[in-house]
Amino acid sequence: MIAPATAIGPARRMVREALAAAGIPQAEADARHLVALACGLDAAGLILAADRPLGAEAAATLDRLLARRLAREPVARLIGAREFWGMRFALSPATLVPRPDTETLVEAVLAARPDRAAVRRIADLGTGTGALLAALLVEYPQAFGVATDRSLEALATARANLDRLGLTGRAALVGCDWGTALAGPFDVVVSNPPYIATGEIEGLDPEVRDHEPAAALDGGPDGLDAYRAIVADLPRLLRPGGLAVLELGAGQAAAVAGIAASAGLAVSGVARDLAGIERALIAIAPEPGPPRPLQA
């Protein structure tokens, strides 16, 4: 236990050492977050108050937070929120924690559709927290977005996040599997589907395996079930020349590209994340060809 008389700076060091001894990566960053959360401080306040005693309430809170982190509960779950694209998104048990890798999808859309006035309708299939849709609505100020999720709890979380960001007037939320209940045409469709093969889930880090919703992880026997379902609807959902950007698991680019090509989409590229992993498939709906000349 950390004594109430312990100053904030030394308490942070004690937490870091406990996390590192347990083999938890990023122990320094995690310690900073936990102490800040227990003390109700931001990053600057944590530095300025380094010599201040914790006090009984903060010390007890910090003990509880440290025990949960040592049990491999992710820091984002302890905080109850995660930053994405410069915005803060509340979490719920039904939502995946947004990850920096997923920002690759936003970057891919911006690169493929640089005209911010040209994108008017966006769909986010399996929205979770609503992070992807919110990021795109901020970047495309004239667009209207539709977010789907099979989980009503996830949709409620997304709605609360969009409301807090002032975006609910530009978004609709629909309870359904992927795009099954939607009508096109959309200029852009994005999705971060479950892509972990069922047999690989047990080997995931406990932060993921034990604390993320199973439905957001399990992609079926080969990890591709959700792609098959999503891509089957894309020709109907996308306008001619419309853009689809789908998050990929490591090593899945070729398989998902094959699924997209079989549906008649043109695969225009794959975007890599900051680690160099192929993270987003970029596909285009076909444009109508020129009319055939009449036969005499």
Binding-site members are 126-130, 149, 178, 192-195
Give the number of other CB atoms < 10 A from CB of residue 42: 10
Residue 66 burial by Cβ neighbours in a 10 Å radius (0-12, 13-18, 19+)? buried
- CA-to-CA distance for 119 and 187, rounded, in angstroms? 6
Alpha-carbon separation of residue 236 from 13, 147, 259, 260 (angstroms): 56, 17, 15, 13
| 121 close to 144: Cβ distance less than 8 angstroms | yes
3-class state of residue 98 by DSSP: coil
- CA-to-CA distance for 169 and 231, rounded, in angstroms? 28
Alpha-carbon separation of residue 165 from 107, 121, 135, 261 (angstroms): 20, 19, 10, 37
Binding residues for substrate are 192-195
Which residue has tokens 């979490």? 91
3-class state of residue 266 by DSSP: strand
Q: How many helices (H) and strands (E) does the chain have?
A: 11, 9
Binding residues for S-adenosyl-L-methionine are 126-130, 149, 178, 192
**Structure token digits, residue 136:** 């795109």
Give the number of other CB atoms < 10 A from CB of residue 180: 14
